[in-house]
Amino acid sequence: MKDVKFKQIIEYLNQNNVQAAKLQCHQLLEQNNQDATIYHLLGIISIKQNKINQAISEFKKALSLDDQNPIYLTHLANCYKKIDHFDLALKYYQKALSLQPDCFEALINLAYFYYQQKKWVDAEHCFQNVLKIESYHNEALYYLGQISFLQHDFEKTKTYLEKLLHFHPNHFKGLTLLGHLAYLQNDYLMAIHYYENAFSIHADDLENLNNLGSCYLKINQDNTAIYYFIKAYGMNPNDINTLNNLAITYLKQDHYEVAKKYFVELLIQEPKHFEALYNLAVCEMALGEIDEAIKNFQKILETHPNNYDARCNLAAAYLKKGEQVLAIEHYQKARLINPKDPSVDYLLQALQENKASTISKAPKDYIQKLFDHYAFSYDIHMGKTLHYQVPTLFLEQFLCYKNQLAIYPTLNLLDLGSGTGIVGELFAPYVSNIIGVELSERMNYYANKKNIYQQLIQQDILDYLANCSTQFPLITAADVFEYFGSLDEIFKNIKIVLQPKGLFLFTVEKYDGIEDYQLQKNARFCHRLAYLEKLIDKFNFIPLTLEQVILRYQNKQPVDGYLGVLTL
C-alpha cells in the first residue's frame, strides 16, 4: 500500500501538482513519521517550491533516519550549492561517493559543481568517471569537450565533441561548440556548417544567429551576415551583441547612416559602451557631422585620456573644421601617447610648416587610413566639390600622342595610385588591359566594383615599381606624387618599367620656392618646375608636355599644378 502511495506522489510531482504531492506525504507521516523516504520526498517538494532552507531541513531529517543513502546526501549537497554554501556542498557530494563510488547522480552533480567552480581537473575527472558508468552520456561528453576547449586543448575538444555527435547528432550545444572551435581556427566554412546544423535545430537561438552572421562577415558575404543579424534583431532589438554586429557590418560597407542608427540604439541600451561611442563618432565624421563627432571623441577622452585613436580622430576633426591650432594641440598629445607613429609626426611637420623637415614621403599607414576613410565619398567629392580636372586632361593628352603607341598590338595601362578608378574609367575604351596599383583597400574595393581593371594590386607604388618585372606602353599617375617629396626613385623605376616610345603621364602641385619640393599645410607635397626638369634630364626622358594646369578647385579657389607627358 505504501509503495502505491509513493508512486502516486512521484506522479503528482511529474505533473507539477505540488500541493497534492505534499498532502499525500503528510498523510503518510501521520501513519509513520520514521520513514526517511517521506522526508526525502518533502525535500524534493520544497525545492520545487524554491524553499531551499526547508528542503535542507527535510533532507537532514531523511538522513537522520538513513545516513548511508548517497541520493539523500547528493540532494542535500545540491541545496547547499544553490545557496552558495560550497564547502558544505562539496562535503556531502564527497560523502555520497565515499559510500557509493559509482553513484551516478552524485558523480554527475559533483562534476557540474567542479565545472561551475572552474576546477577543470577535478571536473574532468568526475565527468570521465560518469562515462565509465554510461559510455555515451551526452552531457558528460559535451562538458569534457567544453573543459578541453577552455584549456585550449583543441584536439581533445574535437575528439569528445565528434564522439558526442556520433551518438547524439542533434546535440545543439555540441554543434555550437564545434562551430566555435572551427571559428577560432579560422575555418569559417566549417564553422558555418556546424552553426547551420545548430540553426536547423533551434532557429530562434539569438547567439547562434549572431555566430552565423559573424562567420559570413569573415568570408566577406556581408549581405548574408546582415540577413542573420536582422533575424536576431527581429527577435530582440535590444540585444547589445546584435546591435553591435549590425552596426559594424554596415560600417564595414561604408553605410554610415545605417551604422549610425544601430550604434545610437546600442548606446541607449548601454551608454558606456566605449567601442560603440567611438564608432558612432567615426560615422559622424564620415557623414560630415563634425561637431557631433568632436563631442563624442571628447566624451571618450574624458574617461580614456590616453586613447590614441580617439585623440588622433579628434585632431582630424578639428582639422576638417579648419581649427589648426586645436588640431596641432591634439596631435601633439597623441604623439606623447605613441611617439613612434610616423603619421602623426608627418601631420605635425606639415601643420607647423617645418621648413627644415627631412620627410620625403607620406607614411604608408597615413595614406591607407586617409583614403580608406575617403573612399566611399571620393568620386562625388572629387567631381562635384573639387571639380577634379586631371583625368580629363590626361585623356586629352593621351589622344594627342596615342599614335606613337600604335607599334604595340596590346595596349596595357599601368594606373599608379588608381584610387576608385576615375582615370581607368576614361581610358578603358582605348586600352586592352588596365593594372591598378593602390595602397588603400577601400579605394580598391570601389574600383573593383566598376569592372574596368584586369588586376588591382594593393601596394605602395614605389614598392611595386621597384619589384615590377613587366613593362607597359602607358603609365598614369594622377594626383599621386603629392604624397611623395623626392621623386628620384619613382622616375628611376618608371624609366625601367616604361616601354620605348611609351607614354608616362603625371601631375604634381606647383611650388614656387627655391627647394625642389615642400610639404604643405594640407599634408601634400608640392614640386618646383625646375626639379621636374632636372629629373627629366637625369633619367633621359623626352618631354612631350610639361605645362601648368588647374588640377582642381579647393574652397572654390583653383589649385595650380604641372602636368607632364614623358616618353623614351
The greatest distance separating any two alpha carbons of the chain, rounded to the nearest whole angstrom, comes to: 118
How much is the pLDDT for 9? Answer: 80
Mean pLDDT of 529-534: 98
DSSP of 85-130: -HHHHHHHHHHHHHH-TT-HHHHHHHHHHHHHTT-HHHHHHHHHHH
Least confident residue range of 88-92, 152-156, 358-362, 431-435 = 358-362
Q: Which residues contact 437 (CB under 8 A, 6 or more apart)?
A: 414, 415, 416, 417, 418, 457, 459, 461, 464
Q: Is the pTM of this model over 0.85?
A: no
pLDDT of amino acid 2: 55
Closest CA to 456 of 445, 471, 465: 445
Bridge partner list, 498: 472
Interval 103-153: pLDDT, tens: 999 999 999 999 999 999 999 999 999 999 999 999 999 999 999 999 999
Average pLDDT of span 417-423: 96
Q: Which of 254-268, 286-300, 307-321, 354-368 has the lowest mean pLDDT?
A: 354-368
Whole-number mean pLDDT of the chain? Answer: 94
pLDDT of residue 3: 66
Residues 19-41 have a mean pLDDT of 87
- Cβ atoms of 525 and 484 within 8 Å: the answer is yes
Statement: residue 455 has pLDDT above 60: yes
Weakest mean pLDDT among 186-195, 351-360, 489-498? 351-360
* Residue 345 cell numbers, joined: 609626426
Percent of the chain with pLDDT over 90: 87
Residue 356 clears pLDDT 70, i.e. is over it: no
pLDDT for the residue 15: 86
pLDDT at 209 over 60: yes
The arithmetic mean of pLDDT across residues 294-301, rounded, is 97
Is the pLDDT at 53 greater than 80? The verdict is yes
Task: Quickly state the pLDDT bin for 22 (edges 50, 70, 90).
Answer: confident
And the C-alpha cell for 428? Answer: 578603358
The dihedral formed by the CA atoms of 398, 403, 407 and 413, expressed in degrees to the nearest 10: 10
Range with lowest mean pLDDT among 25-34, 145-154, 185-194, 496-505: 25-34
485-523: string of b/e by CB count within 10 Å (b at 16+)?
Answer: bbbeebbebbbebbbeebbbbbbbbebeeeebbbbeeeb
Question: Would the pLDDT of 1 be above 60?
Answer: no
Please state, in angstroms and rounded to a whole number, the distance separating the CA atoms of residues 183 and 180: 5
Q: What is the pLDDT of residues 256-293, one digit of tens each?
A: 999 999 999 999 999 999 999 999 999 999 999 999 99
Q: Which triple of cell numbers denotes residue 435?
A: 593594372
What's the rounded Cα separation, in Å, for the pair 108 and 131? 10
